[in-house]
């Protein structure tokens, strides 16, 4: 292990931060460090005060050198360095190298932990036990990703449990963004010995509510700034998907992928059937922005959801989840309005998202797997994003 990086980790394990939001995150006497020649962000650039809470940067590492960088502002993953076929470490997450750029970004979801409800809820309304709840309309005419101040804007209480594990906690008060019940949330991110990024979500409530937690990492397996993701090879383990209306709300049907551009049961490049003029579903989302109904899910066991491979680096990402759905978003609304840490812009379709979650608008769709959480119950789900190299 590089001596400077060892000092960084050792200092982090024995030095606790004195503020509430970062109660045991690793401190670093140096502003920068390197892993296998790759420069990490400067820790001080993530240290700020937002909503009277202290933000910070956290570095996770496994024995293989795989390294993840997080900030507790929005519970975001900001970098993920994995080995490519040339043995060089490649950052497969697009994002920023400082907290202020996340605050100012025109895209609020880069790398963020999403809640209370990931994805859309039609017209910002749902009903529980005969009572209608009204949420913010922040993706007109619908509610998206928890509202105008969803979890992506929260400063989470962070505890780095060890070199490879970060725990984030947040209590969402009753009525926040219109949702009922006080919701206590714990999200644990970790790196495994076999190059997996684990995401464990837990939540409890004191009043019946709806919950759908996920992470909104934007990936490019060829590395940030490498161009289009349309030549990535994608396989999704789904026989069905949920078609949407023109506002991207599911119609309530689960239709076969066979014979459609949504059939990724056999690997295909993302762009191979991406003709938005020939398919209304692709036209509505300006490309792929759809939920896939995963085979053999939901389940207490991890199930294979998808595999995607970067065409230039050979980096392969396999996704496993206990959840019922996978939202595939192809970067169709990226508009070159933000400059990433490597100096490139967020150009059209230069990153993708594969979000493990429940289906969009489930609170209003009786045929979809339920998202209601009762008082006294625990919401708990796990996903793993595992990386390897295709030689």
Catalytic residue (one of 216, 232, 290, 358): 216
Distances from the Cα of 98 to the Cα of 45, 78, 90, 345, angstroms: 5, 9, 19, 15
Give CA–CA dist 90/88, Å, rounded. Answer: 6
Contact partners, residue 98, CB within 8 Å, separation at least 6? 41, 42, 45, 46
Give CA–CA dist 209/206, Å, rounded. Answer: 9
Residue 355: active-site member = yes
Catalytic residue (one of 177, 232, 355, 358): 355
| Among candidate residues 191, 193, 271, 260, the one with its CA nearest the CA of residue 231 | 271
Give CA–CA dist 245/348, Å, rounded. Answer: 23
Other beta carbons less than 10 A from residue 391's beta carbon:
5
Are 115 and 211 a contacting pair, CB within 8 Å? yes
Residue 377: active-site member = no
- The overall longest dimension of the chain from CA atoms, in Å, is 61
Locate 179 and state its tokens: 């949702």
Cα dihedral across residues 85, 88, 89, 91: positive or negative: negative
| Among candidate residues 74, 39, 37, the one with its CA nearest the CA of residue 59 | 39
By CB atoms closer than 10 A (0-12, 13-18, 19+), residue 168 is: buried
Are 96 and 76 a contacting pair, CB within 8 Å? no
HSE-up (13 A, CA, CB side) for residue 126: 26
What are phi and psi for residue 34, nearest 5 degrees? -135, 150
**Which residue numbers are catalytic?**
216, 355
């Amino acid at each position: 292990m590089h001596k400077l990086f060892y000092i960084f980790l050792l200092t982090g394990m024995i030095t606790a931060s004195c503020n509430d939001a970062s109660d045991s995150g690793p401190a670093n006497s140096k502003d920068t460090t390197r892993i296998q020649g790759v420069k990490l962000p400067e820790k001080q650039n993530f240290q700020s005060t937002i909503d009277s809470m202290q933000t910070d940067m956290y570095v996770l590492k496994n024995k293989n050198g795989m390294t993840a960088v997080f900030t507790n502002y929005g519970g975001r993953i900001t970098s993920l360095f994995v080995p490519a076929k040339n043995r060089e470490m490649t950052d497969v997450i697009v994002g920023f190298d400082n907290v202020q750029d996340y605050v100012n970004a025109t895209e609020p979801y880069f790398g963020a932990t999403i809640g209370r409800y990931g994805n859309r809820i039609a017209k910002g309304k749902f009903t529980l036990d005969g009572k209608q709840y009204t949420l913010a309309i922040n993706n007109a005419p619908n509610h998206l990703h928890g509202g105008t101040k969803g979890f992506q804007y929260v400063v989470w209480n962070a505890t780095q449990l060890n070199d490879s594990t970060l725990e984030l906690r947040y209590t969402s008060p009753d009525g926040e963004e219109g949702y009922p019940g006080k919701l206590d949330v714990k999200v644990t991110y970790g790196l495994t010995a076999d190059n997996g990024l684990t995401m464990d979500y837990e939540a409890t409530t004191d009043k019946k509510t709806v919950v759908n937690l996920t992470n909104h990492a934007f990936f490019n397996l060829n590395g940030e700034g490498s161009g289009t993701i349309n030549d990535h090879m994608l396989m999704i383990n789904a026989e069905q998907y949920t078609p949407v209306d023109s506002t991207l709300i599911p119609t309530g049907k689960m239709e076969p992928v066979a014979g459609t551009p949504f059939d990724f049961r056999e690997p295909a490049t993302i762009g191979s059937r991406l003709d938005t003029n020939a398919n209304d579903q692709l036209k509505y989302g300006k490309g792929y922005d759809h939920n896939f109904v995963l085979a053999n899910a939901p389940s207490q066991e991890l199930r294979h959801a998808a595999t995607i491979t970067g065409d230039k680096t050979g980096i392969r990402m396999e996704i496993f989840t206990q959840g019922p759905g996978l939202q595939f978003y192809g970067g169709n609304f990226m508009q070159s309005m933000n400059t990433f840490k490597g100096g490139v812009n967020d150009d059209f379709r230069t990153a993708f998202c594969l979000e493990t979650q429940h289906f969009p608008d489930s609170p209003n769709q009786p045929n979809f797997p339920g998202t209601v959480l009762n008082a006294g119950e625990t919401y708990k789900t796990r996903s793993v994003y595992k990386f390897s190299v295709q030689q």
